[in-house]
């Protein structure tokens, strides 16, 4: 399961709009270095950033 | 009228040699006129004139094309791999990243294409130091466009030591998509030294 789907599973109030460039508050990134997707920025006003345990 | 013939002409007599310049012909003449920093006994070349004009000693430039596809997860900025180097004048391009060793202004251009995407967002951005620079171009909004492509160019300042640029793409199809590597390129060149 992609990181985006994992985040929405544990924070179901989030929508795709929260991840849009400029208007969103969450940035997911993949540097194509074999380390996979990660949360680059999390600035959501109400939802807390999921822990690695929640996303495991 | 008199003619002065010399292989070297030092301009400046400052006690600090790096404040002086030397115009010289190399010890083995090769049709070039060189300009160096330092005294006439040991100038460090900064550039040369040839019959074709001026050529700086160090002018980073690169061009690379992609020869593999990059998986791009939904709503995730993903670095595009341009791993086939076509040219790299100073060895400053590696791992799809350009880290020039000369401070100055550069033009950076990237193109990208993604497969089987219709009526969804497809964006391309040039990232500085692994971070989104809040500028991007879009492609793929038009109905019926299956393999949208887009390109982007920026004139940017790079400090010649730690600054680097990479190309990232973003899509919102709802599933993971794959870039298409047909002729897509990533390139850059020094346009003015700082």
pLDDT digits (tens, 9 = 90+) for B48-80: 999 989 888 889 999 999 988 899 999 999 999
Q: Which residues of A touch B121 (CB under 8 A)?
A: 20
Q: What is the DSSP string of A4-46?
A: HHHHHHHSTT--GGGGSTTT-SEEEEE-SSSS--EEEEE--SS
Which of the four pLDDT bands, split at 50, 70 and 90, describes residue B121?
A: confident
Q: What pLDDT, on the 0 to 100 scale, is given for residue B139?
A: 66
Which of the four pLDDT bands, split at 50, 70 and 90, describes residue B164?
A: very high
Q: Which residues of B touch A32 (CB under 8 A)?
A: 70, 78-81, 96
What are the residues facing B61 on neighbouring strands?
B189
Average pLDDT over residues B153-173: 94
Do the Cβ atoms of B78 and A32 come within 8 Å?
Answer: yes
Of B73, B75, B134, the CB nearest to A16: B75
Average pLDDT over residues B29-34: 94
The Cα–Cα gap between A19 and A39 comes to 11
Give me chain B's average pLDDT, please: 89
- From the candidates B64, B76, B131, which should be mutated to test the interface with A, based on the most A CB atoms within 10 A? B76
Lowest mean pLDDT among B91-105, B107-121, B178-192: B107-121
pLDDT digits (tens, 9 = 90+) for B122-147: 889 999 999 877 677 776 555 565 67
Q: Give percent of chain B with pLDDT exceeding 90.
A: 64
Integer angstrom CA distances of residue B165 from B69, B114, B126: 20, 21, 7
Q: What pLDDT, on the 0 to 100 scale, is given for residue A51?
A: 96
Q: What pLDDT, on the 0 to 100 scale, is given for residue B158?
A: 96
Q: What pLDDT, on the 0 to 100 scale, is given for residue B86?
A: 96
pLDDT digits (tens, 9 = 90+) for A41-53: 999 999 999 999 9
Which of the four pLDDT bands, split at 50, 70 and 90, describes residue A9?
A: very high
pLDDT digits (tens, 9 = 90+) for A14-50: 999 999 988 999 999 999 999 999 999 999 999 999 9
The Cα–Cα gap between B82 and B66 comes to 4
Task: Tell the residue number behind the tokens 């301009």, with chain if given.
Answer: B11
Are the C-beta atoms of residues B82 and B96 closer than 8 Å to each other? yes
């Amino acid at each position: 399961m992609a990181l985006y789907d994992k985040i929405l599973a544990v924070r179901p109030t989030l929508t795709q709009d929260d991840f849009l460039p400029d208007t969103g508050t969450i940035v997911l990134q993949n540097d194509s270095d074999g380390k996979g997707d990660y949360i680059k920025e999390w600035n959501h006003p109400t939802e807390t950033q999921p822990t690695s345990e929640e996303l495991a | 009228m008199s003619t002065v013939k010399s292989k070297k002409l030092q301009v400046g007599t400052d006690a600090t040699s790096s404040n002086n310049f030397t115009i010289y012909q190399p010890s083995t003449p090769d049709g070039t006129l060189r300009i160096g920093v330092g005294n006439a006994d040991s100038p460090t070349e900064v550039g040369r004139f040839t019959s074709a004009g001026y050529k700086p000693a160090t002018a980073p430039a690169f061009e690379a094309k992609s020869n593999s596809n990059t998986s791009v997860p939904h709503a995730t900025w993903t670095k595009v791999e341009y791993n086939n180097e076509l040219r790299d004048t100073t060895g400053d391009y590696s791992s799809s990243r350009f880290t020039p060793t000369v401070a100055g202004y550069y033009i950076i251009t990237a193109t990208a294409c993604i497969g089987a995407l219709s009526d969804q967002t497809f964006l391309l951005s040039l990232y500085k130091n692994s971070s989104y620079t809040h500028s991007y171009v879009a492609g793929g909004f038009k109905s019926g466009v299956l393999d949208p492509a887009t390109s982007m160019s920026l004139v940017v300042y790079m400090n010649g030591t730690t600054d680097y640029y990479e190309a990232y793409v973003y899509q919102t199809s709802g599933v993971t998509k794959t870039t298409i590597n047909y002729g897509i390129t990533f390139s850059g060149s020094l346009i003015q030294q700082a």
